[in-house]
Structures are given as C-alpha cells and as structure tokens.
C-alpha cells in the first residue's frame, strides 16, 4: 500500500510544457529520499485546466499544484511528501483561501462541471488496463453480453436520448437500430471517428489520451448491438500520444480477453484495428472517412444509401465519434433515465467543450446540456483577460457560427445553437473580445475550408473560393455594398447544393457574422476602416504631437525606417513606408501613437 499517489498530467498540453521531465525528476527525487515504497507516481490524461500546466495532484490531500517546474520538485518531495507540509506557493490559487485549502470541486472551474465522458481523464493511468477495470471498466460490456439482448442495448440508447457528439447530433440509438435492422445477416462494421479537425478542438484527443479503453469498450458494445465483429478507429496521425495509448490499450484488451474471440465465454467475437489519417478535414465526414479507411482518396459519397445500409467496404456500418462512445458504458451501467435526467428536453446528457481564444482558463470542460454560454465563459472559463469585453464566441469550428453578446445567456444545446445560426459541432468554443474583427474571423474560417475542400463538387470547390475572394476584397478596403448581397446569395447556394457537410456548413461563419455584425462589414466597405484595427490595409498609424516626447524609441524599433524626428521633437510617420507592424505602438511609453 502506498500512502501517497502523485498524479502528473501526461496529456499533450502538459507534455508540451515539460511534464515528462517533471515526472523523471520526481521519480529520481523520490528514490533519493527512499520513498519509492511509500509514494506512487501515476501519469494520467488531461485534468482540464490546460492553461495551468504542467499540473500535479497529490492524494490523499488532493493538493493541486499548477505550472510546476523541474526546480520545484525537490521542495515538493522534501516538504510535502517527506514532511507532510503542503507547498502553498505552488497550489492553484483558486484552491487557497486565508484559512483553508479548498477541494477542486469547490473552485469556479470545476463546480459546475459534470464529468461523464471525461470521468477517468486525469484520474487513471491510461496505459494500465487494470486501473480502468478498477473504475468499473468493461463491466458494461460484461452486462451487455450476459444480461441484455441486442434490442435491449439499442432501446437503452434510444431511451437515454444520446445524440452524436461529432456535430450533426443524430440520435445514436436510431443509428444503431437502422444498422441492426436494415441488413440482418452478413459482415458489418463499427467505426470511430477520431479525426477531429476543427481549429481549436481537442476534446476527442484528450479522451483518447486519458481514457482509451472507454472507446474500445463502447465499440465492442456497438458491435454486439448491431451484429458486427470488426471495428476501426480512424485517428489523425498528428495525435502521437493518442495513437500510442490506443495501440497499448488495444494490445492490453486483447491480452485480457475483452477484445478478440469468444469474449467472456459468450461466443461473441469483436476486434478493433486502427487507421491513421493524414489530417484532411473532409475525412471527418463519415463517407469520406470510410473511403479513406478503404485505402482510397478521402472524398464524400452521395447519400442515400446511408452507411447503416452500405458503408465501409459496402457493408452496413455505424460511425460515432470518440465523445459519443465515451458516454455509452456509463449509460449501460447507470441506466437510460440517469443519462436522460441531465441536459434539456431534446439534448440529453453533457457536452465536452475545448475552451480557447480570449479566455482566462483555456482548457477542457464538460457541462450538462443547457448550461448557458455566460456560465461557461465567465464562471468556468474565468472571463475575458485584460479587462476586455466579450464580443462573440465561435462554436462548431469552420462549420459553425459566431454567437454575439445578445445571445450570451442562451442555454447551449443542439437546437438553440442552430436557431441562432451556429451549431454544436464537435465542441470547439473559441472566445473573441472587442479586439477581434468579425470580417477577418469569417475570412479566417473560409480560408481554412477552401484549403480543406476535397474538390469533388463544384459548389464547395469553387463557391468557397469565391466567398473567400469577396471577403479578402472587403478586408483590403476594395469592397462594395453589392459584395455584401453577393456574399449572402452565394452562401445560400453553397449550403443548398454542396455534396457533404463540409460544403453545406462552410458559409455559416459568413452568414452569422453578416447577421450579427453587419455594421462592421459596412464600416469596411463604406468608411474604408476596420473598427477593431485588425485589417492592415485599412489601418494608418499617427503620432500625436502633443503627447510625443521625442524619445526616439519608436524610430529605433521601426523596421522600415518610416519614423523620423530628432530628440525632444515630436516625430512623424511616413505612411508610404509604414508596414503597419505595430512595433512603434508597443514601444511608446507615452501613448503618443494611435492606430486608426
């Protein structure tokens, strides 16, 4: 028995901040102090508070150390692990009060969260199947194979109200029912979409890094429900930690007999293979993903027939994303009503979001459906840094829309987001403040979709390019009011005529910003200015003579030599030479340089 367990985040965020070096230093220091038999070091997945990494939690005290450095390790070992004295200066400040140290569940970041899909992330060693089993792992699969019929499993998912977490929100139970019933006999497949290509999204990656066995267990349950004996996980190669842990998990699952032939002696057989994607965004679309698994160019196919009838290798197939699968074992163990008791009437359960952009607590959160955008951003996310005001939030990545302040209190669920011109998507939530230009934001997402379009259909291949060109024209001060009408007309055509979801949703950032921030478009077109000071072609820099002290600091940092003047005499900017890089504004201590 160990008296202390030290949990170190081994997710991508903390690993990039040096958590592997911290783990090595910790193990070395523990050995040096003869504590190896008393203290166990556990490398886990993501704790959620990515902005504070590297993170370390010591149990049984539950002390949450944040932004730990290698040089902090000797003090943590000698003071906390050896003498029992918590090192307060390294604790996450939200857990420290004047008289006591609060638990994590009492902090603003965690107290409104409900972890279902993320229940094991940051708790177990994802590379040890026994730790997953110790947290009720594979019990749901055992229950399904020994106590439930295929129809029972499908009905449980239907009753739970679980909808796909990959973006479309299609009822999971209905998808499984179709695959089970449309074709009764023969080869069927279960696929997992772990391709996650939205900018700013890292929900699925974190589940795979922190709890890979939950996906394997859920896929085996799906295989039993529809009558399939083979599954495939399609994961992007840019997720090396997730890929490594999946490989370890699959190997362990086979060794323990929870994958392979005659699972639990029930006669049911199911195995899983892994396929690496090359990073094509379009391969997040189900038919393109299956085409890629088959070894062909990842392009979508017309539907019908739907994959439930003809999918991978032209056989009945179900495809769900990582987060969807992560909910299933808990639904089986706790019951459909348990899951349905969370969330809203039409959007049951919880949703994982990757918080990014202009927000204090960048990281991963899981909240019940129906939690308001304000609660997620201001309470859980800690609000906008540097005293700036909230302007908009982008949900759904390139396929979603921008949510303005007037909808700040909207309960987040599938239908509410669609009603205001956005969508749930896979769960990326990018926060923007007053310094963001919404025309530039729409242009950014269009540039992404233009680059990621597979080119198979003309509306997407050509239409998105034309949209981008109009936006580029507007941000350069060359747009007209007629261009705004063209943006709307072209956007609607692309939505109605594109072959797959990538093209059908690509205009959403344009339409939502036109809907809520049309004044910014008009300012770019009519006044030839960018209100947020982002679009370089519409900017000009000026020195206010009354404020300029003639210190020459701005002239010394100007890379173009555009600033002239002598000591103690107000300087002048030659606008024909100015690169609009902003170096002069950053250097000026007197606020004498303005950006128009």
- What is the tens place of the pLDDT at every residue in 135-157? 999 999 999 999 999 999 999 99
Q: Burial, 396: exposed, middle or buried (Cβ in 10 Å; 0-12, 13-18, 19+)?
A: buried
Question: What is the rounded distance in angstroms from the CA atom of residue 190 to the CA atom of residue 188?
Answer: 7
**Residue 167, pLDDT score:** 78
**Residue 97, pLDDT score:** 80
| Maximum alpha-carbon separation in the chain | 89
Task: Give the N- to C-terminal CA distance of the chain in Å, as an integer.
Answer: 66
Residue 316's pLDDT band (boundaries 50, 70, 90)?
Answer: very high
pLDDT reading at 91 higher than 90: yes
Average pLDDT over residues 123-142: 98
Buried b (16+ CB within 10 A) or exposed e, 343-369: bbeebbbbbbbbbbbbbbbbbbbbbbb
pLDDT tens per residue, range 217-266: 999 999 999 999 999 999 999 999 999 999 999 999 999 999 999 999 99
How many residues are listed for the chain in this entry?
Answer: 596
Are the C-beta atoms of 553 and 595 separated by less than 8 Å?
A: no
**Residue 254, pLDDT score:** 98
pLDDT reading at 471 higher than 90: yes
**Residue 12, pLDDT score:** 95
Residue 184's pLDDT band (boundaries 50, 70, 90)?
Answer: confident
* 436 torsion bin: left (phi>0), alpha (psi -120 to 50), beta (else): beta
**Residue 231, pLDDT score:** 98
Going by DSSP bridges, is the β-strand pair 363-368/350-357 parallel, antiparallel, or unpaired? Answer: antiparallel
Q: Which of 161, 147, 268 is nearest to 219 (CA)?
A: 268
Average pLDDT over residues 70-94: 95
pLDDT reading at 464 higher than 90: yes
What three-state secondary structure class fits 120?
A: coil
Are the C-beta atoms of 322 and 192 separated by less than 8 Å?
A: yes
Where is average pLDDT lowest: 104-108, 293-297, 323-327? 104-108
pLDDT tens per residue, range 542-566: 999 999 999 999 999 999 999 999 9
């Amino acid at each position: 028995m160990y008296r202390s367990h030290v949990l170190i985040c081994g997710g991508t965020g903390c690993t990039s901040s040096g958590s592997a070096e911290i783990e090595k230093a910790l193990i070395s220091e523990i050995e040096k102090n003869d504590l190896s038999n008393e203290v166990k070091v556990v490398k886990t997945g993501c704790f959620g508070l990515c902005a504070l990494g590297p993170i370390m939690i010591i149990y049984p005290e539950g002390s949450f150390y944040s932004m730990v450095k290698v040089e902090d390790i000797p003090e943590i070992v000698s003071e906390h692990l050896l003498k029992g004295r918590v090192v307060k200066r390294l604790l996450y400040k939200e857990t420290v009060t004047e008289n006591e140290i609060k638990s994590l569940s009492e902090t603003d970041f965690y107290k409104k969260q409900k972890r279902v899909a993320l229940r094991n992330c940051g708790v177990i060693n994802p590379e040890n199947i026994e730790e997953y089993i110790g947290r009720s792992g594979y019990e749901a699969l055992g229950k399904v194979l020994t106590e439930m019929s295929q129809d029972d499993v499908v009905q449980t998912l239907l009753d739970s109200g679980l909808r796909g977490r990959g973006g479309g929100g299609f009822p999971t139970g209905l998808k499984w029912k179709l695959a089970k019933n449309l074709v009764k006999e023969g080869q069927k497949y279960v696929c997992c979409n772990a391709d996650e290509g939205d900018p700013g999204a890292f929900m699925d990656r974190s589940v795979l890094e922190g709890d890979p066995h939950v996906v394997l267990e859920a896929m085996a349950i799906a295989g039993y429900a529809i009558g399939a004996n083979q599954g495939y996980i399609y994961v992007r190669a840019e997720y090396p930690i997730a890929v490594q842990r999946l490989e370890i998990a699959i190997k362990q699952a086979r060794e323990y007999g929870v994958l392979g032939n005659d699972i639990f002696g029930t006669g049911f057989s199911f195995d899983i293979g892994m396929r690496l994607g090359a990073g094509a965004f379009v391969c997040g679309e189900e038919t393109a993903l299956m085409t890629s698994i088959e070894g062909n160019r990842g392009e979508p196919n017309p539907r019908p027939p739907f994959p439930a009838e003809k999918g991978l290798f032209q056989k009945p197939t179900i495809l769900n994303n990582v987060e969807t699968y992560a909910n299933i074992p808990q639904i089986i163990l706790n019951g459909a009503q348990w899951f349905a008791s969370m969330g809203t009437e039409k959007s049951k359960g919880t949703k994982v979001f990757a918080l990014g952009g202009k927000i204090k607590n960048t990281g991963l959160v899981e909240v019940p459906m129906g939690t308001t955008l304000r609660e997620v951003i201001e309470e859980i996310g800690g609000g906008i840094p540097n005293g700036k005001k909230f302007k908009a939030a982008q949900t759904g990545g390139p396929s979603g829309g921008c949510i303005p302040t007037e909808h700040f209190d909207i309960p987040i669920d599938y239908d509410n987001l669609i009603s205001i011109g956005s969508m749930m998507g896979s769960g990326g939530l990018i926060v923007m403040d007053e310094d963001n230009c919404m025309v530039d934001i729409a242009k950014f997402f269009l540039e992404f979709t233009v680059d990621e379009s597979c080119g198979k259909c003309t509306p997407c291949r050509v239409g998105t390019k034309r949209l981008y060109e109009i936006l580029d024209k507007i941000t350069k001060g060359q747009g007209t009011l007629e261009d705004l009408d063209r943006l709307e007309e072209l956007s609607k055509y692309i939505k109605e005529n594109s072959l797959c979801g990538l093209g059908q949703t690509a205009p959403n950032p344009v339409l939502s910003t036109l809907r809520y921030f049309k004044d910014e478009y008009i300012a770019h077109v009519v006044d030839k200015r960018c209100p947020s000071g982002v679009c370089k072609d519409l900017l000009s820099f000026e020195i206010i003579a009354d404020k300029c002290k003639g210190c020459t600091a701005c002239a010394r940092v100007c890379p173009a030599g555009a600033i002239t003047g002598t000591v103690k005499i107000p300087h002048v900017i030659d606008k024909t030479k100015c690169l609009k890089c902003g170096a002069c504004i950053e250097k000026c201590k007197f606020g004498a340089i303005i950006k128009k």
